[in-house]
Structure 1
Amino acid sequence: MRFQKLFADELGESHWLEVEVNLEEHVFAPPAQNVEISEPEPAKQMMFLRLRAGWDEPVHPTPVRQKLICLSGAVRVTASDGSARDIVRGDVWHMEDRHGKGHHTRVTSDEDFEAVIVQFD
């Protein structure tokens, strides 16, 4: 299991990094069988997001450290270093580019982009 992490370096340039999620077998919901699960991350809040088809935003940094889980649709996110990722259904995007040049996001699907956002700060 992996997610795409977008972060800003010390000069404010944003970059992508693919992160592997470490899963270990644990008892999670007894008496159910053991499951493979990651370490928990404390979260502050969760919300749903919809970006309408055709939506195209100005470049900006993320306001807080957060993860976006795509439910439907697709967006293309371009880091300030020029590298881009397409985020589609089932993808997880971790945003940490809280300072610097930020990123550009636009909806590339004909359908609306819908996601869950989990904020950590």
Structure 2
Amino acid sequence: MEAIRSPQLTETTMTYSRTYATPDGESHFEDVDVAMPPVEVVPGEPPLHMAETIRAVGIRPLRMPANWDGGWHPTPRRWFAIGLSGELEVQTSDGEVRCFGAGSVWLMDDTTGQGHHTRVVGLRDWLGIMVPLTEAPDTPQRTLEEVWAEVHAFQ
């Protein structure tokens, strides 16, 4: 069977969710659209849609047990969470709630302030891939202990 070839591809986008903090310490969601123009990946074959490279440190597989509740916390660093299975519920301090399941992409960018409330919903563990991003030279890196100290001071 011969593969069906697409006509000339035009640019498309991919959307992911981002949490971020405002100067008053509150957290919010926003949708981020990433341009994915057609790119020749395999010479002589139809182009694929591919975004620009986002610099990352590596990947960290993560499993959160069913019913796990992380409470309110800022993220210790900027990183993507990519859902593989299960369902994760995230609430920002403005009250918005979003669920992330298999195939979802979430950028945690709320490194200061109250942060977000994360919990695993349902009877299944949440399995995902965490992708820590390469930080700008002026971005302070914090340990988990420093983040939790800030959380307790904020409450």
> Retained in 1: the 8 A contact 2:16–2:33?
yes
**TM-score of the aligned structures, taking structure 1 as reference length:** 0.95
Q: Which residue of 2 aligns with 1:52?
A: 65
Shift in Å at residue 11 of structure 1? 1.3
- Identity across the alignment (%): 36
What secondary structure is seen at the aligned counterpart in 2 of 1:45? coil
Pick from 58, 65, 77 the counterpart of residue 90 of structure 2: 77
Shift in Å at residue 36 of structure 1? 0.7
Distance 2:108 2:27 in 1: 10
What secondary structure is seen at the aligned counterpart in 2 of 1:59? strand
Q: Which residue of 2 aligns with 1:100?
A: 113
The runs of 4+ residues in structure 1 deviating greater than 3 Å are none
Shift in Å at residue 31 of structure 1? 4.3
What code does the residue aligned with 1:90 have?
G
Deviations 1:63-120 (A, max 9, x none): 1110000000001100111111011111100110000011111111211100001101
Is 1:42 matched up with 2:55?
yes
Is 1:66 matched up with 2:117?
no
Q: Which gives a bigger RCO, structure 1 or 2 (Cα 8 Å, sep 6+)?
A: 1
Between Structure 1 and Structure 2, which shows a larger proportion of strand residues? 1
Q: Which residue of 1 aligns with 2:146?
A: none
Deviations 1:41-82 (A, max 9, x none): 111121100000011112100011100000000011001111
Q: CA RMSD for the aligned pairs?
A: 1.1
Q: Which residue of 2 aligns with 1:90?
A: 103
Between Structure 1 and Structure 2, which shows a larger proportion of helix residues? 2
**Matched residues, number:** 121
Runs of at least 5 residues in structure 1 that lack an aligned partner in the other structure = none
> Retained in 1: the 8 A contact 2:88–2:100?
yes
> Retained in 1: the 8 A contact 2:39–2:49?
yes
What code does the residue aligned with 1:61 have?
P
What code does the residue aligned with 2:69 have?
D
Greater Rg by CA? 2
